[in-house]
Amino acid sequence: METQLQYIAIATGCFGRRHDYVCLPKKGFLLVEISKVSSIWDSDLIAKALKEYDLSGAYWINNLCVVLDELTADGLIARIESKLDDGTHITPGRVLFNYRLSNFGRARMQDTGLLPLDGGVMA
């Protein structure tokens, strides 16, 4: 039996390369990852997404940064801290952001089935 997340992924045509099961679109994946923790740095999110989607290179790093900017502009996530990359994460001198899921983002995830109504993470 397919989980709700798998159903959403099938409906959107997003199939993972690393797993036997389907994957979420990048925005959904990032939202789910952020919802699992109280906060997370963009460098960690980007590393997880690159691994999940079997991607690499500056294009995809920048693409994921744009996705995070869009989620922030939409009010689904919030930047709660920033620091300069010392060269151990993405690029020396780059501004890194620490993100958390906003209350609005949590509500929208529940509305769309990315989170169960009790606030836990979907299987």
Tokens coding 102: 């906003």
What global pTM score does this model have?
0.78
Per-residue pLDDT of the chain (123 residues; tens, 9 = 90+): 455 555 555 444 454 554 444 567 899 999 999 999 999 999 999 999 999 989 999 999 999 999 999 999 999 999 999 999 998 988 888 999 999 999 999 999 999 888 887 755 554
Q: What is the pLDDT of residues 54-66, one digit of tens each?
A: 999 999 999 999 9
Q: Which amino acid is at 104?
A: F
Q: What domain range includes position 60?
A: 4-112
CATH number at residue 107: 1.10.10.10
Q: Is residue 86 part of a domain?
A: yes
- How many domains does the structure of the chain reveal? 1
Please give the angle made by the CA atoms of 40, 41 and 43, to the nearest 5 degrees: 135
Q: Is residue 52 part of a domain?
A: yes
End-to-end CA distance of the chain: 12
